[in-house]
Structure 1
Amino acid sequence: MNKKALCIMSGGMDSTLVAYIMHHRGYEIVGLHFNYGQRTVSKELSSFRTICEELGVHEKYEIDLDFFKTIGASALTDHSLSVPTEGIEPGVPITYVPFRNGIFLSIATAIAEKEGCEVIAIGVVEEDSSGYPDCREAFIDTFSKAANLGTKETTHISIEMPLVHLQKSQIVQEALLLGVPLHMTWSCYQSEESACGVCDSCRLRLRGFERAGAVDPINYV
């Protein structure tokens, strides 16, 4: 029986690279994508499906969550709030979705147990991220202990976060090395046609490509 890894895949560059890393390590990939009311929900879903096809993922889950739109509090899910476009500021930005990775990992744990996956892989980045508290290594490590306490004694799941200490430029370099189809990925917080180039996520992505000495293959306004 092949060893299996459940990869949480947003359709973005980081999580796509993680799926390719796990595939390169010999895991059969089970894809997991969340439609949680984010502004670019259609584009992200399309990217996820295209990447799964490219990677040869046969088993995949698309989970719809209206929870985050119900509570609001994030510019990604509450259209009464504006996505910041003035540059990356210190602190936790308004694009932070409250405890999103905690919710995602809880659902991922249930699916991983059902599928017999020994690994959950997530593309959190701590040092060069937007400052989201649920992207920290300490949080993921602590959650992993709780997940294993809350599942069957025969279930043993590790949570892998291979990018957690990388800079964005290193992520770009690693993606190019592994042949990740970066033209299929999407990072923009607010546009589904051409990336805006000015939201925090676009700025981080563009800076990563620039510092890696590479050209981003997606379209920008």
Structure 2
Amino acid sequence: MKTIVICSGGLDSVSLAHMVAQEHQLTRLVSFDYGQRHRKELDFAALCAERLGVPHNIIDLRSIGAVLTGSALTDDIDVPDGHYEEDSMRVTVVPNRNAIMLTVAFGFAAAQGDEAVATAVHGGDHFIYPDCRPAFTESFEKMQKFALDGYANVALHTPFVHQSKADIVTAGARYNTPFDLTWSCYKGGAQQCGRCGTCVERREAFHLAGVTDPTSYADPDFWTAALARQAGV
């Protein structure tokens, strides 16, 4: 199946790209610049495309991102430290982000003659991000059938939507994903911080999967305290 992968350069989407490259026909990686503070992730998406030998398209959505205000990922708001399942992480929501990106990717796929769009949404995202939940992805795919009716037939491929981040690490290892060449940190510094929600989740996932984490973190031990706090210990 000719498949486009939406790739942010993070652990999830890069693992997905390696999976698709082996299981399907990977045609290209598509990334989005929506004015995110951690846009250095796009460099890691470019490295992934080069490694897998496919084109890499960066779609400029900065003018759209500029009006999706109120998120710590786009505005001058501190990115909170802690686990994703803490209420403080809701400030990292960018309204309708995945819905917008998927709509563009589906149009791109239809124009290019591709048969599927793959995205790495997963079970760990459900608590905070409504457009990562199965109800959304299933409804979105049905909507696109109507949007492209008579023009193209493009499927939505979400192999991780019912899985955990640890499951993604396990799958990524199976498909030889170079985890050290992925970027997760929302703070976008010189080194992944180890404290923001996505760093804590990343560190926990490697632990649960029993896979060595090759990532260099500014604060490599913070995740244990974050998990204890989230569990009320």
**TM-score, normalisation: structure 1:** 0.92
How many equivalent pairs are there?
A: 216
Q: In 1, Cα distance between the equivalents of 2:69 and 2:125?
A: 25
Taking the aligned partners of 1:150 and 1:214, their CA distance within structure 2 comes to 42
Letter paired with 1:75:
A
State the match for 1:147 in structure 2.
144
Contact 2:68 2:95 survives alignment (8 Å):
no
State yes or no: 1:63 paired with 2:59: yes
Distance 1:192 1:130 in 2: 26
Counterpart CA distance in 2 for 1:121 and 1:86 is 29
Q: Secondary structure at the match of 1:173?
A: helix
Amino acid at match of 1:65: L
Shift of 1:190: 0.4
SS in 2 for 1:192: coil
Indicate yes or no: 2:153 matched with 1:156.
yes
Cα deviation for residue 108 of structure 1 reads 0.4
1:29 Cα deviation after fit: 2.6
Q: Which moved more, 1:90-99 or 1:142-151?
A: 90-99
Q: Secondary structure at the match of 2:138?
A: helix
Structure 1 partner of 2:31 = 33
Q: 1:88 to 1:62 in 2, by over 3 A?
A: closer
Which runs of structure 2 are paired with 1:179-218 in the superposition (5 Å)? 179-218=176-215
Secondary structure at the residue paired with 2:188?
Answer: coil
Q: CA 1:198–1:129 in structure 2 vs 1: closer, same or farther (change >3 Å)?
A: farther
Distance of 1:103 and 1:210 partners within structure 2: 33
Give the match for residue 10 of structure 1: 8
Q: Distance in 2 between matches of 1:146 and 1:88?
A: 29
The equivalent residue for 2:19 is 21
CA distance in 1, matches of 2:139, 2:125: 21
Q: How does 1:39-54 map to 2 (within 5 A)?
A: 39-41=37-39, 43-54=40-51
- Residue 83 (structure 2) aligns with: 87
The answer to whether the 8 A contact 2:123-2:165 is kept is no
Corresponding residue to 1:126 among 123, 134, 137: 123
Q: Describe the SS at the equivalent of 2:28.
A: strand
SS at match of 1:143: helix
Q: Deviations over 1:75-129 (max 9, x none)?
A: 00011x1111143344561101101000001100110001111000000012465
Per the alignment, residue 220 of structure 1 pairs with 217
The one-letter code of the counterpart of 1:95 is T
SS of corresponding position for 2:67: helix
Tell me the secondary structure at the aligned position of residue 216 of structure 1.
Answer: coil
| Structure 1: unaligned runs, 5 residues or longer | none
Q: Which amino acid aligns with 2:58?
A: E
Q: State yes or no: 1:171 paired with 2:171.
A: no
Conserved 8 A contact 1:34-1:63? yes
Query: More helix per residue: 1 or 2?
Result: 2
Q: Shift in Å at residue 191 of structure 1?
A: 2.5
